[in-house]
Amino acid sequence: MNALILAGKKDIGNLESNTKLTNKALLMLNETPMIEYVVNALRDSELVDDIVVVGPEEDLAPILENKVKKILNSADSIVENVKIGLDYFPGDCKILVLTSDIPLLTGEIIDHFIKKCDQYNALFYYPIILKETIVKKYPETARSYIYLKEGIFCGGNMVIVAKPIFDRNKQLLDELYQNRKDVKKYVSILGVKFLMKYLLKTLTIKEIEEKAAEIVGYPVKSVLIEDPEVMIDLDKLSDYELIVQVMNQNDPTVLS
């Protein structure tokens, strides 16, 4: 499976006061650009073939040109950036799409996700994880959660998508992505009935999948995973501190 990394984001949020960087993907973590951790994870995967990055080529080429298949200059919107990346690959194949701000990702975690998705027949796969699984491993992290009948879940920053579903639903996918951390808005896109069921905490995963498939015209699957690292993106200073702490704990060369 080929992989597409989205690295066109210029806004680095409340980390701006601590850095002069103009692209979030280049934020340094232990003297290594954040995106390089994601690229290395993909290279360590046994199931990923070509890696394409959509982002500012001038900034990314010096650190990535020997590690990825292609760097494509980004546009101003995530919809256009996904389109740019997907259009690079021929045919209607499924592509692993992920953001550049999940540096705790590993090749093993990527392979776990791909293998789980292979068990289902769909054209869009979205990872979910139980809150208790995240908190057990990373009690300090603050995430956005959705309360469903089956439990409390968090979504991840890595999906598998087939090109036809994107081509048909570019506007809808952009709206879903822009509201991915605003649970009520996200559910309301699926209708008032879904919003009410969410508020009552009776909405089920199956109902979301069926409604989403009806809207986009193709099968959609939520894939339950056990790896919180897919959900820990770097959006704020507390994320940065947690990620660096975890990296240092996992690095035997760092003295305690």
pTM above 0.95, yes or no: no
Reading the block at residue 73, the tokens are 């200059």
What is the pLDDT, as a whole number, of residue 255? 44
Residues 107 and 46: beta-carbon distance below 8 Å? yes
Output the tens digit of pLDDT for each of the chain's 256 residues. Answer: 999 999 987 665 556 555 567 789 999 999 999 999 999 999 999 999 999 999 999 999 999 989 999 999 999 888 889 999 999 998 878 999 999 999 999 999 999 999 999 999 999 999 999 999 999 999 999 999 999 999 999 999 999 999 999 889 887 767 776 676 676 666 667 677 877 888 899 999 999 999 889 988 999 999 999 999 999 999 889 999 999 999 998 775 554 4
User: Considering the domain 2-250, what is its CATH architecture?
Assistant: Alpha-Beta Complex (3.90)
What are the extents of the domains in the chain?
2-250
Residues 165 and 187: beta-carbon distance below 8 Å? no
Secondary structure, 3-state, the chain: CEEEEECCCCCCHHHHHHCCCCCHHHCEECCEEHHHHHHHHHHHCCCCCCEEEECCHHHHHHHHCCCCCEEECCCCCHHHHHHHHHHHCCCCCEEEEEECCCCCCCHHHHHHHHHHHCCCCCCEEEEEEEHHHHHHHCCCCCCCCEEECCEEEEECCEEEEEHHHHHHCHHHHHHHHHCCCCHHHHHHCCCHHHHHHHHCCCCCHHHHHHHHHHHHCCCEEEEECCCHHHCCCCCCHHHHHHHHHHHHHHCCCCCC
